[in-house]
Structure 1
Amino acid sequence: MTDDLGPLRQAMSDLSEYGGEADMYERALRRSRQSQRRAALATGAAAVAVVVAIGGTVAVATRDRADPPLPPAASGTGDGAQTVDCPSTQVLGDLVELPAGWTFSSRPVECAQTWAAVDVERPGAGGLIYLFHYTPGTGWRFQDQGNGWDCTELGLTEPASFCTS
């Protein structure tokens, strides 16, 4: 059994003279670039979808939230001194964490201009005073603890029971 491949070989030879060569390299490059563009577009679309989803969730979550409370308003007096609404013991208690067994006394908070003082009771020890200061824009902040301060160093122009002079 013999195969007669002569006519087939002749036909293939004739076709190769007229058909030229197959350009597989250019087609492979074109397909690769097209795949890269599709991948970049898909990645960009996914990133946009994530940003929109997160932004939408945050917008919905914060839509019904109340605005944070504003600090007490400060007002100036004619002599350049500033006065502030006196805070409650509870407001000042939220600013500090007292050691175990320590409590604020039942005596009300004493205020002088932008300063507030509250007595602290300690078991087995004498009383102590916590001093707070008001700054516009920041509000009340814990300043110091002790038994008294110099009013002139605090900038007070009026007497206060927490001052030593």
Structure 2
Amino acid sequence: MLKVPPPHQMAITAACVALNLAVGTIANLLSLPLSLDTIGSLTGAALLPPALAIAVGAITAVLGWAVINPVYPYYIGTQISVVIAALAVMRLIGFDRLWKAVILGAVVAIVAVLVSAPVTVLVFGGATVPAMTANNAVPIASEQSIWSAVTIGGLLIEFADKLVVALIAWALVRRRLRGSA
């Protein structure tokens, strides 16, 4: 029998999806080099049961198509993998200290690159990748393969993005837990 989550968990789930979409949209509109579209996913991983946290990532990818960029559904696996990696890291080391947030950001960045690079190469295998960033364009211009450009360039930008995202999520979770005490 399907168990309906309590209303407060559903509210946190909706807030995390809204956070991902709002910040992702702002980053996209401002053409920021960081997407910042997983703040809600990492926050959800810390505050929600695993199924709802994974739902945050999946719903973000689906709704991101209409709100942020039409390529978002291709990266549903990345969003889900980021949440699963965050859940695993949080279970192993916790999420109660700043240094743990830094480790979480690094691990999630590596997972994001490993999962999204093949999608980028398969879906956008030509030289005109709609999600192309400056960090990918330089290696491609220097005649590296798109696979090298996406993984090497992607790792640099994902590391910066996921580090910022993890620190923001850590601050939000800390604030939430302090506010409920």
Q: Structure 2 length normalisation: TM-score?
A: 0.23
Q: Which has the higher contact order (CA 8 A, sep 6+)?
A: 2
TM-score, reference length from structure 1 = 0.24
Structure with max Cα Rg: 1
Structure with greater helix share of residues:
2
